[in-house]
């Protein structure tokens, strides 16, 4: 169970490093997660400048947290920024680097995407950090097709470790796990946990485990049992409520309730916090789940 961690933001659009570290530590302890995906989509990564992202990575890496339990988003619009972020992940001891495809130019060929990923692998000099491809075509507009993943894996068998599939297309996840059994496949919904063994999934990387990680962990560890199914149903009920609203603002509002800290409700432009009516509806719905 890997949490796609939210990022606390100050009044001047800076990352609040102490709160970020505190939340990451909580996720790995009381929050119930095996690992943290730092600065991904839920973490609003592409809305931060390169230096802000590197500084946040540096603070986390020096906080005494177990870096073997951290992956970090290193994708960027500029290839040199993606290389710099991926190299920083290696230098700072992150276990994984999560690479979104080049997302501005649409309609590019599979060869182009493969060459882009290869350039980052070659120039970042990955030795200890493993690469994960981030398939989120509804945002990036550029997919990591199964053929692309296969080609990158064949050329870099000791570097490419897995794929985070945020497409919501379970047929893609299932086929990827079937065709490439050496790849760790992480769908984005806790609803896949009950069928993880059947389909060969390595777990789940989810935004909503910022608040439901302990339940999701029970569903993962007890998969195939009645207790696991009950825990999974509860985690999915929380996900369903949060999904009624813009997801990242809803997750951050829920995190503010978990930590009793309204600071968490701020988002980085262009995203905006929940409206007063949305917040009221969310807060009314969540207590029903006890």
pLDDT of res. 288: 59
Percent of the chain with pLDDT over 90: 91
Mean pLDDT confidence for 13-31: 97
Return the minimum-mean-pLDDT range out of 14-18, 92-96, 132-136, 199-203: 199-203
Confidence bin at 289 (pLDDT 50/70/90): low
- Residues 230-258 have pLDDT tens digits of 999 999 999 999 999 999 999 999 999 99
Confidence bin at 195 (pLDDT 50/70/90): confident
Could you give the CA distance from residue 219 to residue 230 in angstroms, rounded to a whole number? 8
Q: Is the pLDDT of residue 219 over 80?
A: yes
Mean pLDDT confidence for 76-81: 96
Who's near 217: CB < 8 A, 6+ residues apart?
1, 32, 33, 34
**Bond before 88 cis per omega within 30 degrees:** no
pLDDT of res. 241: 95
Length of the chain: 290
Fold of 2-227: TIM Barrel (3.20.20)
3-state DSSP of the chain: CEEECCCCECCCCCECHHHHHHHHHHHHCCCCCCEEEECCCCCCHHHCCHHHHHHHHHHHHCCCCCHHHEEEECCCCCHHHHHHHHHHHHHHCCCEEEECCCCCCCCCCHHHHHHHHHHHHHHHCCCCCEEEEEECHHHHCCCCCHHHHHHHHHHCCCCEEEEEECCCCHHHHHHHHHHCCCCEEEECCHHHHHHHHHHCCCCCEECCHHHHHHHHHHHHHCCCCHHHHHHHHHHHHHHHHHCCCCHHHHHHHHHHHHCCCHHHHCCCCCCCCCCHHHHHHHHHHHHHHC
pLDDT of res. 242: 95
What is the pTM (predicted TM-score) of this model?
0.94
List the chain domain ranges: 2-227
Q: Smallest Cα–Cα separation from 159: which of 92, 234, 89, 223?
A: 89
Average pLDDT, the chain: 95
Q: Is the pLDDT of residue 287 over 80?
A: no
Mean pLDDT confidence for 170-192: 93
Provide the CA 280 distance to its chain's centre, in angstroms.
Answer: 27
The answer to whether 197 and 172 have CB atoms below 8 angstroms apart is no
Mean pLDDT confidence for 132-147: 96
Distances in Å between the alpha carbon of 201 and those of 112, 129, 205, 228, 252?
Answer: 28, 21, 11, 16, 27
Who's near 251: CB < 8 A, 6+ residues apart?
6, 42, 207, 208, 210, 211, 242
pLDDT of res. 290: 54
Q: Is the pLDDT of residue 205 over 70?
A: yes
The answer to whether 238 and 289 have CB atoms below 8 angstroms apart is yes
Mean pLDDT confidence for 22-39: 97
């Amino acid at each position: 169970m890997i949490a796609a961690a939210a990022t606390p933001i100050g009044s001047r659009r800076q990352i609040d490093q102490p709160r970020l570290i505190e939340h990451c530590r909580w996720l790995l302890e009381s929050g119930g997660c095996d690992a943290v995906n730092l600065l991904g989509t839920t973490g609003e990564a592409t809305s931060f400048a390169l230096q802000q992202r590197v500084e946040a990575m540096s603070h986390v890496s020096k906080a005494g947290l177990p870096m073997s339990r951290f992956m970090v988003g290193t994708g960027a619009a500029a290839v040199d920024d993606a290389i710099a972020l991926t190299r920083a992940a290696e230098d700072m001891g992150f276990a994984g680097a999560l690479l979104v495809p080049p997302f501005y130019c649409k309609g590019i060929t599979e060869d182009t995407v493969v060459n882009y990923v290869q350039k980052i692998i070659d120039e970042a000099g990955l030795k200890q950090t493993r690469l994960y491809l981030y398939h989120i075509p509804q945002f990036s507009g550029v997919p990591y097709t199964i053929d692309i993943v296969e080609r990158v894996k064949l050329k870099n068998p000791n570097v490419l470790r897995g794929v985070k599939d945020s497409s919501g297309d379970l047929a893609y996840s299932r086929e990827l796990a079937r065709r490439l059994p050496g790849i760790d496949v992480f769908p984005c919904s806790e609803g896949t946990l009950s069928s993880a063994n059947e389909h060969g999934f390595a777990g789940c990387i989810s935004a909503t485990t910022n608040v439901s990680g302990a339940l999701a962990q029970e569903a993962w560890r007890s998969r195939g049992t009645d207790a696991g199914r009950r825990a999974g149903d509860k985690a999915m009920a929380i996900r369903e409520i949060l999904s009624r609203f813009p997801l990242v603002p809803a997750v951050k509002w829920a995190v503010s309730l978990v930590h009793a800290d309204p600071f968490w409700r701020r988002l980085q432009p262009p995203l905006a916090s929940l409206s007063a009516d949305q917040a009221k509806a969310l807060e009314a719905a969540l207590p029903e789940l006890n």
